[in-house]
Chain A
Amino acid sequence: MDEYPPELARLPPGRHGLPREFVAHNQRERLIAGIAEAIAENGYSGTTIAHITRAAAVSRRTFYEHFPSKDDCFVAAYEAVMAELQERVSEAFDAEDEWPEAIKAGIAAMLDFLASEPNLARLCMVEALVAGPVVVERYDAAIQSFVPYFREGREGRSPEVLSRLSPTTEEALVGGMVSLISRRIIAGKTAKLRELLPDLVEFTLTPYLGSAAASKVAKQS
């Protein structure tokens, strides 16, 4: 199992001689992990503060010291998960020299993170939609934040290739990718997300490289 992202780690139960500030910070993190767990069990609308505090093993009062409402706690959780996802994608992308391989590595990192953290995957790709107005703008911005990785694929292409790319190409690619991933999560296939890698790579690289070259990168192991 992948290591839990630090802000989502749990403090071991029991007394601990830790500085106050650390404990406070850690309580917040526990609440964030707690809401992810509670939502995975009950869905967003079925989740109550009691579910969250139980999963986080903190008191109700502690909850309200950190968040005024369930929605606020959800927003914090969403942001923590997305930040982690974005960081992993960006690290994997930056580690490759060639753009097609970088895209492949970035998508693989995304799928691996989501597959290894089913609660968090559900929270950021499905429940964010159900929670609606609470995070919808953040959700949109987070999805759009993947557009620049693809846009980089335009660099150094022939004018002929560039003339075939439309202004919305990258948005449509990202939208298609995210939509497929969310649908697999909704269908309970989170653990098998990694299997989508070749399809996603071929689909997203084809506009830039043509289908033969895209398919080759997709199938390389």
Chain B
Amino acid sequence: MTQRVTQVRRPRPGQHALPREFIAQHQRARIVAALAEETVDKGYRAVTVADVVRRAGIARNTFYENFSSKEDCFLAAYEFAVEEAMRRVVEAGSELESWPARVNAGLAAFLSYVASEPALAHTCVVEALSAGPAAVERRERSIQEFVPLFRLGRKVSPQGENLPPTLEEQIVGGLFWILYQRIVSGKVEEIESLRPELVEFALSPYIGSEAAKRSAAEAPAAPTAG
């Protein structure tokens, strides 16, 4: 689903001749979007299920048919965002031969997703920190999910496995921190313009800073349509 989650609209009345499963999916996405919007407005801790229900325009029962609690809904929002981000990143690089070009295209896709979903990004990157231990743990795990994409760089690096074992974790952590800082300070719109320096930051340890700078200066390959 490439639809902007925050643009999912409620169906007009009487328009319910849709397959059950579709409605269910759609409802979940709508609830998740409502949670993200409420969270940005009030901060996660202050948001209540009643707020989410009101914003999503659904019955309270419908909320509880989909999620057991606010936290459950939050974790679903997180899952949704990470899956979608990962899907776009992988797709952006799928047809590119060279690893640096894949990183460039992948980061471009990631940053553009973040910029297109400011509420969801704020919820996952910033508010996850105050949403309890499960959310913090989930956030840490998602950082880990991006590690293998960078680890591939060891194959093209002259240092290969001599690179520090935790290199990828530090790279992904550094990228997340920059993202976090920009979102916290309300500068999400700057995110996409940071692509060249972030690409350079991520590639340098593998291919050296000169080659990294060259790769970063190239326009990232546009994702294939569809």
Beta-carbon contact of A179 and B169 below 8 Å: yes
Q: Which residue of A lies closest to B194 (CB)?
A: A168
Beta-carbon contact of B165 and A173 below 8 Å: no
The verdict on B197 contacting chain A, using a C-beta distance below 8 Å, is yes
Q: A132-B130, A199-B166 are in contact. Are A178 and B177 (CB under 8 A)?
A: yes
Encode contact with A along B182-205: 1 for CB under 8 Å, 0 otherwise: 001000000000101110110011
Q: Which residue of B lies closest to A206 (CB)?
A: B205
Contact of B166 among A133, A175, A180, A211 (CB under 8 A): A180
The verdict on A112 contacting chain B, using a C-beta distance below 8 Å, is no
The verdict on B167 contacting chain A, using a C-beta distance below 8 Å, is yes
Cβ of B162: which chain A residues have Cβ within 8 Å of it? 215
Beta-carbon contact of A43 and B133 below 8 Å: yes
The verdict on A131 contacting chain B, using a C-beta distance below 8 Å, is yes
The verdict on B44 contacting chain A, using a C-beta distance below 8 Å, is yes
Cβ of B209: which chain A residues have Cβ within 8 Å of it? 164, 207, 210
Contact of B173 among A131, A164, A176 (CB under 8 A): A176
Q: A130-B133, A131-B130 are in contact. Are A169 and B167 (CB under 8 A)?
A: no
Beta-carbon contact of A172 and B164 below 8 Å: no
Beta-carbon contact of A129 and B181 below 8 Å: no
The verdict on A83 contacting chain B, using a C-beta distance below 8 Å, is no
Cβ of B166: which chain A residues have Cβ within 8 Å of it? 180, 196, 199-200, 203
How many residues from A make CB contacts under 8 Å with B?
A: 41
The verdict on B40 contacting chain A, using a C-beta distance below 8 Å, is no
- Chain A residues touching B, majority SS: helix
Contact of B129 among A132, A173, A202 (CB under 8 A): A132
Q: Which residue of A lies closest to B200 (CB)?
A: A166
CB A147 to nearest CB in B, in angstroms, measures 11
The verdict on A171 contacting chain B, using a C-beta distance below 8 Å, is yes
Q: How far is the CA of A211 from the CA of B162 in the complex (A)?
A: 11
Stretch at the interface among B23-31, B58-66, B100-108, B135-143: B135-143
Contact of B174 among A129, A172, A199, A206 (CB under 8 A): A172
Q: How far is the CA of A132 from the CA of B133 in the complex (A)?
A: 11
The verdict on B210 contacting chain A, using a C-beta distance below 8 Å, is yes
Q: How far is the CA of A196 from the CA of B175 in the complex (A)?
A: 19
Q: A164-B209, A198-B164, A207-B204 are in contact. Are A172 and B133 (CB under 8 A)?
A: no
The verdict on A140 contacting chain B, using a C-beta distance below 8 Å, is yes
Contact of B137 among A168, A172, A186, A196 (CB under 8 A): A186
Beta-carbon contact of B170 and A199 below 8 Å: yes
Encode contact with B along A34-49: 1 for CB under 8 Å, 0 otherwise: 0000000001010000
Q: Which residue of B lies closest to A218 (CB)?
A: B164
Beta-carbon contact of B197 and A166 below 8 Å: yes
Which 4 A-B pairs give the minimum distances between C-beta atoms?
A175-B177, A132-B130, A179-B173, A176-B174
> Interface of B with A (CB < 8 Å)?
43-45, 127, 129-133, 136-137, 140, 143-144, 159, 162, 164-167, 169-178, 180-181, 184, 194, 196-198, 200-201, 204-205, 208-210, 213
Q: A168-B201, A175-B173, A186-B136 are in contact. List 5 more A-B contacts (CB 8 A).
A: A132-B45, A164-B209, A173-B174, A179-B170, A211-B159
